Amino acid sequence: MRVIDDMTAILTGLWTTWKHILRRPVTIQYPEEKRIPSPRYRARIILTRDPDGGERCVACYLCSAACPVDCISMQAEEGEGGRRRAAWFRINFSRCIFCGFCAEACPTMAIQMTPDYEICRRDVMDLVFEKEDLLVEHCGKDPEYNFYRHAGIGVTQPRGEGEGEKPTVDVRGLMP
């Protein structure tokens, strides 16, 4: 009978919702209770340093190019010892969509995402982070990595002296 089927359906529904009334809510009362996000969570972006304390960022513009919303801008300059670095580096977090493309693109592991998601500001202009706000005093997720050990030829070490590099070949010599 259709009427009986319909009534059973309605009563089953009512019974289900009744069970849910008695169930514990899953709500997390945010400012008081906070869940700890995974370390891979993509939130506030930082610029890390290498193990020696030098700035990792070489102002290569790759992050800026990868950014789908164009919220990273910088100006490259040459620092002490011929190392490239950013004269200024700016991320506009009011536009950032936290996609993580910048961190993926970065060849030096300089730009990294952190799990700190509490970056609301009253004034939208406060969401424009400058280099001073972004630069941190640690190595972030990859504490060993030092870009200049592998590359940066002729700037921090002579040619052929980097980690995993073969000694230079004398191109003018006859022997291979």
Partner 1 sequence: MAGADVIPDPMEITLVIAKIGLVLLVILTLAAYLVFAERRILAWIQDRKGPNRVGPFGLLQPLADLIKLLTKEDFCPPAGDRWLFFLAPAMAAIPAIMTFAIVPFGAPVRIFGRDLPMQVADLHVGLLLFMALSSIAVYGVALGGWASNSKYALLGSLRGLAQLISYELSMGLSLVPTVMLARSFRLSDIVAAQEGGWFILYQPMAFAIFLVSILAECKRIPFDLPEAEGELVAGFHTEYSGMRFGLFFVGEYINILVLGGLAATFFLGGWQGPLLPGLLWFWGKVLAFAFLFIWIRGTLPRLRYDQLMHLGWKVLTPMALVNILATAWWLYLAGSSPL
Q: Both tokens of residue 108?
A: 């030096």
Residue 4 or 21: the one with the smaller Cβ distance to partner 1 is 21
Of 24-32, 105-113, 114-122, 154-162, the segment contacting ligand SF4 by CB under 6 A is 105-113
If one asks whether residue 8 binds partner 1 (CB under 8 A), the answer comes out as: no
Q: Which is nearer to partner 1, 13 or 158 (CB)?
A: 13
3-class secondary structure, 12: helix
The number of residues making up the chain comes to 176
| Alpha carbon distance 71, 65 (integer Å) | 10
Alpha carbon distance 107, 158 (integer Å)? 21
Closest distance between ligand SF4 and the C-beta of residue 28, in Å? Answer: 25
**160 binding partner (options ligand SF4, partner 1, none; Cβ < 5 to 8 Å by kind):** none
Q: Which amino acid does the sequence have at 104?
A: E
Interface with ligand SF4, residue 46, by CB under 6 A:
no
Tell me which long-range contacts 33-38 makes (C-beta under 8 A, separation of at least 24): 36/115, 37/115, 37/117, 38/115
Figure out which of the listed residues 29, 38, 123, 137 binds partner 1, where binding follows CB under 8 A.
29
> Considering only residues 117-176, where is the footprint of ligand SF4 by CB under 6 A?
none
Interaction between residue 38 and partner 1 (CB under 8 A): no
